[in-house]
A and B are shown apart, each in its own frame.
Chain A
Amino acid sequence: MNKVCLVGYGNTKFSRENISIDSLLLSATKSLFEQNTNLNQKDIDAVIVSTNDNTKYLAAILSEIAGIKPKIAHTVESLCNSGANSTVSAYSYIASGLAKVVLVVGAERYDSPGQILDWDKSRGEFKHPIFWGSIFTKSHKRKFGTTEEELAIVSAKNHKNAQENPHAYSHKNYTVEELLNSKKLTEDLKVSDCSRSCTGASAILLASEDISKKFSSHPVKIKGIGQKTVSAGFTKNANFSCMQSTVDAGKMAYEMAGIKASDVDVAEIHDAFTVCELMALEDLGFVSHGKGAKYVKNLFDTENRKINPRGGLIGSGHPLGATGIAQIIEILQQLQGVAGKRQVENCKVGLVHNMSAAATSSTVLLLES
């Protein structure tokens, strides 16, 4: 099996702008080429597009408008973790020898159809994500005594981290008090507890390790991959204070990489809602169950950027298909030591956690410099 490295990236600013999906894909691709001057269109064997947009044939469209004639071109859709899923596909093409260099581009519009899963009839009329977010939050509060203030701290930390992220949707800073006073959506969720759907695009380049130095002086290895889908329907989650797909995906990734949670120096966590960050930290073994809030408060008090240094989904915005790619870019920059003001000192091992549809499916990637 060929070893696989991340060797390049292209970013765009997240916004609420009305931009067509092909323009979004092209802008992230253009940014990637501009930052990787050794890369030629002819080098690219596969183009994978990550999106929930309904437009067909996007990987071929992107290839044409970017002057690429790849062997493999297709879209990957898996709601909010389309990004990590497409990266797993790219990894597999390189590992198997089918491709040497793969371009993965994620993009989404603010009005994405990927926010609601119509198929899930068991949710009745409560289909909007705020309802599963409320159920998770209520359940975590009930089981571990999690408070509204502890949830507000997650949001405050991620908004604060996003201030140094030039591509974040918003650069507003909030005090914990301001967030505690933000509009209540349900008994258990405030506006400040939610990530917001937006417009954005992100691109990464993967290459076989033997040629990775051609594209980057600091290639970053993909050491571990874990993926688990427990169901499609939200109500099938065994319980609502723990995300089983995340537990399972984490275990697989740690085992493949020979890495423990305590070895991880920096992580991007899928904070669709504030409670998801706490649950994921617990489910991925950073802390034991019920201790996530204390851990995050300590990060916030000490201005430690270890978790969600770019601001997570809450701070940066959540353009569904681009989110997983943007998370990977952040960890890639951190491990390359080029994250600027967001830089976590001496980081060698990074983790990406991307999930979809009320944690029914999770992907965990472990990266090493």
Chain B
Amino acid sequence: MNKFESELKKGNFIISECSDCKEIVWPPSNYCNKCFGHVKWRKPSEIGKLIEFSKKENVNFCIAEFEEKIRIMGTLIGEIISPKIGQRVKLKKCGLNDGQFNFTMALI
């Protein structure tokens, strides 16, 4: 299990950033996919923007983008009337259970 997964298991969302060229490496990896430099791990901004969304039964799901780079699919919770693309979202919860990754976001 890498650092991303062990932290996610504890409910912490961390990302990898290259120590040399400062590129954010997403999906998380031990080496930079631009210069192959070592990465360091840090918390990203919890505020992102809504890229797209849909709904299955009563579960809203979306793609959100953080720091203009990190895109994740997750559950969109809270009152959702007419969400707008580009609207701000906050990462509320994340985890890793039985090999299953999950992210929960809310519109703000």
Complex CA gap A186/B85 in Å reads 19
Residue of A nearest to B62 (CB): A135
Judged by a CB distance under 8 angstroms, whether A336 is at the interface is no
User: A186 touches which one: B56, B75, B101, B103 (CB < 8 A)?
Assistant: B56
Judged by a CB distance under 8 angstroms, whether A363 is at the interface is no
Candidate in A120, A122, A187, A236 with the most chain B CB atoms within 10 angstroms: A122
Task: Known contacts A185-B56, A187-B56; decide if A135 and B63 are in contact (CB<8 Å).
Answer: yes
Residue of A nearest to B97 (CB): A125
B54-A121 in contact (CB<8A)? no
Chain B neighbourhood of A240, CB < 8 A: 51-52, 63
Chain A neighbourhood of B41, CB < 8 A: none
A125-B56 in contact (CB<8A)? no
Judged by a CB distance under 8 angstroms, whether B102 is at the interface is yes
B102-A125 in contact (CB<8A)? yes
Judged by a CB distance under 8 angstroms, whether A124 is at the interface is yes
Chain A neighbourhood of B53, CB < 8 A: 135, 138
Interface positions of A from 131 to 145, Cβ below 8 Å from B: 131, 134-135, 137-139, 142
Complex CA gap A134/B26 in Å reads 23
B73-A123 in contact (CB<8A)? yes
B73-A187 in contact (CB<8A)? no
User: A122 touches which one: B52, B56, B72, B75 (CB < 8 A)?
Assistant: B72
- The smallest C-beta distance from B61 to any residue of chain A, in angstroms, reads 5
Chain A neighbourhood of B61, CB < 8 A: 126, 131, 134
- The smallest C-beta distance from B58 to any residue of chain A, in angstroms, reads 10
Complex CA gap A321/B51 in Å reads 32
Interface size, chain A (Cβ < 8 Å)? 25
Q: Is the interface of B mostly helix, strand, loop or mixed?
A: strand
B73-A126 in contact (CB<8A)? yes
Q: 1/0 contact trace for A100-139 toward B, CB 8 Å? A: 0000000000000000001011111110001100110111
Task: Known contacts A121-B101, A125-B100, A125-B102; decide if A235 and B71 are in contact (CB<8 Å).
Answer: yes
Task: Known contacts A126-B61, A186-B56; decide if A233 and B101 are in contact (CB<8 Å).
Answer: no
A125-B55 in contact (CB<8A)? no
Task: Known contacts A134-B54, A135-B52; decide if A124 and B71 are in contact (CB<8 Å).
Answer: no
Complex CA gap A222/B12 in Å reads 52
A235-B54 in contact (CB<8A)? no
A235-B73 in contact (CB<8A)? yes
Residue of B nearest to A132 (CB): B73
Chain A neighbourhood of B102, CB < 8 A: 124-125
Chain A neighbourhood of B75, CB < 8 A: 124-125
Complex CA gap A137/B27 in Å reads 24
- The smallest C-beta distance from A236 to any residue of chain B, in angstroms, reads 7
23 residue pairs bridging A and B, Cβ less than 8 Å apart: A118-B99, A121-B27, A122-B26, A122-B73, A124-B72, A124-B73, A124-B103, A125-B74, A125-B100, A125-B101, A125-B102, A126-B74, A131-B56, A131-B61, A135-B52, A135-B53, A135-B73, A137-B54, A138-B54, A186-B55, A234-B73, A236-B71, A240-B51
Task: Give me 9 other A-B pairs in contact (C-beta within 8 A), A187-B55, A187-B56 excluded.
Answer: A122-B71, A122-B72, A122-B73, A131-B61, A131-B73, A135-B63, A138-B53, A142-B52, A235-B73
Which of B's residues lie within 8 Å of A, judged by CB? 26-28, 51-56, 61, 63, 71-75, 85, 99-103
